[in-house]
Chains A and B, each alone.
Chain A
Amino acid sequence: MTAFGKLVRTTAFRLTLVYLFLFALFAASLLGYFAWNTRRMITEQISTTVNAETGELSEIFGRRGLRGLVFNIENRALRPGANLYLLTTPAGQAVAGNVGSLAPGVMGTIGWSETAYRRLDDQDNTDHRALVLVTQLSSGFRLLIGRDLEERRRLFGIVAKAAQWSILVVVVLGIGGGIFVARRVLRRIDAMTGTTQRIMAGDLSGRLPVGRSGDELDRLAGNLNAMLERIEALMTGLKEVSDNIAHDLKTPLTRLRNRAEEALAKSATEGEYRAALERTIEESDGLIRTFNALLMIARAESGQARGNMDDFDAAEVANGIHELYEPLAEDGGMSLRVKTAPVAVHGNRELISQALANLVENAIKYGKPVPPAQPQGAVISLDAKQILIEVRRDGNQVLLSVTDHGPGIPETDRKHAVERFVRLEASRTQPGSGLGLSLASAVATLHGGELRLGDANPGLTATLAIPALKGVSDRLAAQTQDVPQKVA
């Protein structure tokens, strides 16, 4: 397609043509209306003057007879810019006036007519046109009074010329403007197309140019960029996951293989074989768990679990998890408490339970209070050993948080901590897959919320913030008015 062809095919150019046509039509009709009205006005003016003069002369004829009339006509005819006058006998012979010749038959019709004429004193041999009124006087004389139409013709000419010019200007400006706008739009679209093609070719970091005007194209570009951002994040995530899976599954697989090999080579007694096999099974169970967690994260991130959502009370989930983990916390020398108010959420109950369970497991594993620097009299207070699960509503969000008073996570590490397989320095000695926070974060994202890691001074507050379900919450709250808060 040629550049011009492309230009002509743009929506902007086509719209311009439509507007152009409409404007030209408008200009033409405006001028036409103006011309027609002017012409009517001039004609009216002429007929009024002619009528008046006819009346005057008829009166003169009645009062002073033919002689007076002739004298008067000659007098008037000699004035500069005079009207046309012609007085004829009943036989049709001219008696007085300034008319040299007329179109034949004009004097024969009484009343208004338009005719070609020539003045007596005309030097040039051109015909002029005039509007004339022929009246029948008594005794067969006929009087013609008329006015030249040159003025009207000239005016009409001016209007016609104005019409030509204005239409020309409208067309030129219109097409020029159309090309200008179309090229501008086309340039931006071309830039966008170029970027999209680059992106399609594999460069996911490309972004569409966004102007500063904030017009519809900028908004479109902005939205497309947001979409690209998401796609890039997903692709990067996918790549990271596959890299991490390769790494994190290969390492235990290698270990597994080495152990089996070693057992085969070195084991002598049945007991040794047994121990080696048991370790092998343990190792593969860990692998399976890691794999399941990865699948779960992938599923949450891809949004597949959206089909499995219903409305439920977040407080029930928190109480359930508290009930499940309370003995475990106590075994680890901590205490797990729960503080909830009924809040309805719409989501996948199983996934939210699991996310919360992960946060609680983390708190139990890593949330042990750091012993003070001075060992003497270092009694860690009971409060410091407390892990609190809290569910509350904050505006239009439901916050499910788990707070411990352990070492916490330094602010610089928090973002990093959510990534898959990331195990912060402090946690490397503990068993775990490094997927707990990733899963919690993926679950929060699936529900349109986020996982926030904050400082509990000292300690960590991990919060699942997800949108609250409007209406149902209030109903739930009303149902349980008598027990507004449950503290276990």
Chain B
Amino acid sequence: MTATAPDMRLLIIEDDRESADYLVKAFREVGHIADLAGDGEEGLSLAQSGDYDVLVVDRMLPKRDGLSLIGVLREKGNRTPVLILSALGQVDDRIKGLRAGGDDYLPKPYAFAELLARVEVLSRRHGGPAEETTYRVGDLELDRLSHRVARGKDELTLQPREFRLLEYLMKHAGQVVTRTMLLENVWDYHFDPQTNVIDVHISRLRSKIDKGFERPLLHTIRGAGYMIRDGIR
């Protein structure tokens, strides 16, 4: 897998040595800079002193638990995006985590591709441009205000949900977006469907925006999800 976003500085706060080492290594392999803190106190001081793009925080940590760490950071005005990792995967735990100031929540066990995609999206949100009214990828154009979508000179007709799907993909153009992220952000469901329900929506969307055009824009990233971008990597 290659990095799809510019290099990020990450802080991983995780007490399980093996998974922490794995994460650091995996992030470094895709070109990001990853620091490691083994407990809540160390994590808090590093997070306050260093300039990180995203914090990856385990919920249960020695010395200071993840939620309290986030609470302190937010109280001091530190707005660095935080992704919470937790073995507690239930809906109410997720809500608790987001309420405490987390920006995203990923239950363990997770696929690294999922974590990477989410971290990259968080980082873009942190440093990226303000919400634009028009998204452009290649010759595909989406107007968020008038709900118009056009590819080149052709006006495309999308169902409302297809529009929202495309909007989310284009907002994170150039970034991998996983099926779970789509289900959470476009449909607002937080369960695992046992079927390839998202793939079907994607293929419908693809048939509308890519069919009949020479250069496909909506790509399937194997083992991870989807990405909209201009050109072939």
Contacts and interface: CB of A to CB of B under 8 A. Distances in A.
A364 B192 contact: no
Given A285-B111, A324-B189, A350-B190, A361 B92 contact: no
Interface in B95-110: 95, 107, 109
Interface string A278-289: 100100110011
A328 B223 contact: no
Determine the main DSSP class of A at the interface with B.
Answer: helix
A330 B211 CA distance: 19
B90 A299 contact: yes
Interface residues of A, number: 36
A328 B197 contact: yes
A293 B195 CA distance: 14
Nearest to B189: A353
Contact of A327 (B91, B194, B200): B200
Contact of A295 (B89, B190, B197): B89
A324 B194 CA distance: 13
Interface in B105-122: 107, 109, 111
Contacts of A357: 189, 191, 193
Contact of B189 (A285, A331, A350, A364): A350
A432 interface: yes
A225 interface: no
A265 B161 CA distance: 48
A292 interface: yes
Contacts of B95: 308
B25 interface: no
Contacts of A299: 90
A132 B192 CA distance: 112
B194 A354 contact: no
Count chain B CB atoms within 10 A of each CB in A278, A288, A295, A361 and give the residue with the most: A288
Interface size class of chain B, counting residues whose CB lies under 8 Å from the partner chain: 20 to 34
Contacts, number: 68
A325 interface: yes
* Interface-central residue, A323, A365, A431, by most chain B CB under 10 Å: A323
B201 interface: yes
Contact of B89 (A292, A331, A348): A292
Interface string A349-387: 011011001100100110000000000000000000000
A353 B194 contact: no
A178 interface: no
B144 interface: no
A136 interface: no
B187 interface: yes
A320 B164 CA distance: 14
A354 B197 contact: no
A295 B201 contact: no
B90 A289 contact: no
B204 A327 contact: yes
Contacts of B190: 350
Interface string B192-227: 111111001100100000000000000000010000
Interface string B67-101: 00000000000000000000001111001000000
A446 B227 CA distance: 39
Contacts of A328: 195-197, 200
A307 B92 contact: yes
Contacts of B161: 323
A436 B194 CA distance: 9
Contacts of B192: 289, 292-293
Contacts of B223: 278, 281
A305 interface: yes
A433 interface: yes
Nearest to A354: B191
Contact of A324 (B90, B109, B197): B197
Given A295-B89, A308-B91, A308-B92, A361 B195 contact: yes
B198 to A, nearest CB: 9
Contact of B187 (A292, A324, A327, A348): A324
Contacts of A293: 192
Given A288-B109, A324-B187, A327-B201, A361 B89 contact: no
A193 to B, nearest CB: 40
Nearest to A285: B111
B195 A364 contact: yes
A433 B194 contact: yes
Contacts of B92: 304-305, 307-308
B59 to A, nearest CB: 16
B191 A350 contact: yes
Interface string A412-443: 00000000000000000001110010000000
B191 A353 contact: yes
A328 B203 CA distance: 10
A296 B89 CA distance: 9
Contacts of A292: 89, 107, 192
A361 B193 contact: yes
A364 B197 CA distance: 11
A476 to B, nearest CB: 20
B136 to A, nearest CB: 26
Contacts of A324: 187, 189, 193, 197, 201
Contacts of B89: 292, 295
Q: What are the 3 A-B residue pairs with the smallest beta carbon separation, nearest first?
A: A354-B191, A327-B200, A328-B200
Given A328-B200, A436-B194, 6 more contacts: A304-B90, A305-B91, A307-B92, A323-B161, A324-B193, A327-B200
